[in-house]
Structure 1
């Protein structure tokens, strides 16, 4: 593909429009024509280059492709911005008429005339990058879904029920001191000396909760690899009726970026429902202590990374010191991928969460891929599936995302392509992005990739509203027109497509992105997104 072909024949028209060549009105008319031609050809460039981006992402594991892809995206984004300028000046001239001619002529000169203009710059960059990628063989047809073979009636797994974690859930609830049903005593485990006997009745607890205090809050870490289900387990525990009956207050905060002040503010908001404008550490610590005073509470600190241990663990100490002299029975539950973090923050033995057991995991995988645990109707797909399952390392998240990807095309060719993908050979890095998640991403259509990667701008655990996010996608130009269908409706369908592919999870009427998928969104958006967390950024 030679991008310069898209601009052939325009140079002559540009020269005709030079100052003094024609009367003013005639000149502007021809400039409009030229601008429309340029806009039309830029649209053609975008279509071709977006297709090339889609193909390049299939080989992102190759070093040279990984180097060129951000540059290609930058050039395409510049072309997209140029189209936005075209549209803006077009609307401006419709509204203002002759009054806007001068501004339009200036825009025209900087865009399509002279040796240093935007069109030439974009053209040269795209020619160079696309030429290098084509030499590497990136001009084939991108594998994709045949939506016609997708089973219309296949239900997805019931998200309201945790799968294969009943025993883990009961054990963790016992370690938190939650009274067991039918009077069973909680599990025996080493814990802080301040911990109390879980066999004590709830009514007795309510009687002494305002009288008995402990100097510091006990900390129980749940530790396991990314995607194994730590956050999901913690969520189900928090929503268990016995837990809600036992704790007077449940606080949930996400700690992927361990900014002590932000975390304390989030905890205060979770506890009181009000956002604080305080910014002094001591004042924030006092405010949090006041928010939980006289209440037996559970605080969940989700997704703690090793940055909590920086500055000689001072970050963690500053946060932990906010929760002193608490009502007896209060507990902190921490989830982390890092055993060292779990060992340093704990006051009781960490709870290790491993992948699902082999037989349970296989049933879950079949449920995700086929809509039921029964796959006897296609033994060949079952054979291929059994080759894929060991690569998922018992991760429910990997089974869910890849299982749904496989379920969208029940042809053996599609399943074999997944099984034999080179992405399985990638080493997992610090971010612990599973190859299964990368596969699920690269199989998305280009328009859904853009919408999903855009979400890297938001913080982890951000609660998305479908309508609001769809409006933003429309405003960003990510939503492609489809006849007379309103763009907002198309944006809503994009969102539903991502939900059905497990890129969003529904929680109490809003939606969140799993922390590993959020990591992947940041990885694939790479050079495209910059997130401002505070003014120092």
Structure 2
């Protein structure tokens, strides 16, 4: 290394002596994509009908906030974005009926050429522009064209990420007639974000069946495949490598056209895609993106090849690995290497090289953000880095190939030794979820920068770990280590130490502070850790300290304020933590503080205003927090605050007034708790909520510990004024009001809600005892979820139409009686017609509403229905009205009501005096899933329930009086806490259940459960596969929790 540095220094001196100037980078051979056109042969396209319909629908819409709408189509190279745009561009509904006066297709590519775009538009019209080199003349010409026409402009393959260039184009086209559209295809999420006026349409991969169709067309002449059944079987395995990318299917199919032996096809199936000629695979379309990357980004991207296919990549952890390996160097500004890493990561995300992992839950596990590479992107990486990187999964190999600098071993029990020659060359080793032990190699791997031993059953770390002097990243998470060797403190270059979920570790080395270069320390979920060494405070370069879920931790070191470079402090879930040291207010570079779930924490640092750089304070579920510290309003950098707690009047000298919200530029979600402690309406006005760009707002009275009722310090009329003065921003999407005990809502909810809060999507009104009428919520065009809970003075819901409502919960409404669901009105010709008030409602929850009467019937679109806490008579009436209207009158008045074809999931719970199920259930012919829960008086289930041919799953819980009756059509049965159904030996009393495929008793499989090859639960999905509301997401979450050992899930 010394000799190499001397040579480099000599070369640099010669450059200076000879006055050589730095040249620009030599451009590599360019993969030039052929220009695209608007014409497409629709017969060759498969699997894009659904995508096409969505795009066409967007093109035909004339509403919206913009006269000219920009619709991005975004996705990985080769997925068919251009094809999809061609299909929509040439659709008869788009080309006909004079929908667009002007249709123009422009292939843009990497050069965003305004002149080219302008010329294409002008050429499609009779307009003349004699001076195309004059930008002003071109702009005036385009304005003339666009202001007279409704146009459709397709910009294909856009790469430009410069917002200024897009603004130039936008100015020219902004005056188009209402309904004009600009359709953009791009691989870049950043381009889509810059240009969009509507949410981008993200193109996904084709199914394996569709890929096979494409492959088959190229590999066989028409019908020829029938003569080659063995090749068909191999070919269907080959198309799985395409990962849904049409271009890959076509390329691989073309390659197989002249190959007719099984050996030849098997060789392609078993080879990696980089072994094929690049001209015939997907790689050239991806390499175009790769070649354009800056060299530093290329290096970071190539390193991602160390992860196996389909691996979920933790964003923050990947950035730390880049830093450890020296791929990111801090520049001369204060900007941290983590921030530069974030920029690199976002670049890869925008280029579609990384894709966000879709998660059905709103909250990612442990808050981590994970991403995945498309298989073909991974193949590209391996073609770039195959001489540098080794990836071993399972038992596929017992050795790392020679020459590799980066290696990852996953789920291996056979890798027991790494030769010295290989170990000395390694710079990064990931040894994850592998039970074999290779500790002896440490003394040989002298140049190792990164060591990842996640989940590898390690109980003791050898002292030789201290010999890895260049080590910068060490991940020991999810191991059984009880203590760390003191030698670990000699790792003077260590930047990241991850001990997360090492549940047996009780103490940390006393000299932990010797790790002077440590930037990341993760001790989360080390549940046996009782205290932290005082030397922790010597970690002057520490940026991120994660102490979440240390349930036994009572206190932090008093000197924690000496961590002057600390940016993130995570104390979430430290349920025993009583207070924060006063020195914590000295953390002047702290950006994020998470104390959520610290249930015993009573107060925040009194000098919180010293945290001048704090941007995020997460303090939800801190039930003992008595108020916010005075001075929090001076933390002007604060942008995200979970809960603002207003302290009691007798603590006013210690607690902040609500007025301190005035100067905080909060975004996202905010809960204001303890509004009964507001001492003046003027303070509420000063909070200035109307200027805060919040997405969600929750206003709560009387939730501080020990308080009951509406304990307020203000007279009644001033309480009204307080809420009047808390009017939120017009862009608010989610509003929750809880514990308000006055008799009327504010004017911004009653008289002007449609103009004051036009973007509301969800409203929750709870524990509001005196209000006798609801706000005119039908004025909200985008309202999708409405919860009304414990409003005992409400007698009716009014007759407002809810055009977008999908989920409605009515709970604890003892006098609610009238609920009109259909209006009869006169049409333009004077004829009477019925208009549904809830045309989109799919989820309905009726709980403890004993007098509720739907008039004339339940909304016909309801698919999920829960009825709880009502009498048997009211249950029967509601189910009678679960049938839709026919032309003859009300369903409730018909002798034989028409069958309900929408309702497919029904839950009945806590219904008093219900001894048998109502006959009206027989008309619910589409019912698939039914739960009967805590109906203690239910004695029998009638045989006719078996007539419901679609009923697949019946759950019966807590029905202590029930005796079983056989239902021949039932496929699944779950029984819990129904003692009369079973004898002393746990067998059914009255009859066998052998005819039912899957039976669960008290959450265990019934002993005589019949075997089957597959579980019907896997098919449990809405017949329409509708867009999910949050309540439906709960259903999905429940379904995903089913396992083979618990055939019938619990919905609690």
TM-score (norm 1): 0.41
TM-score (norm 2): 0.22
Highest Rg: 1 or 2? 2
Higher RCO (C-alpha under 8 Å, 6+ residues apart): 1
Structure with the higher fraction of residues in helix conformation: 1
Structure with the higher fraction of residues in strand conformation: 2
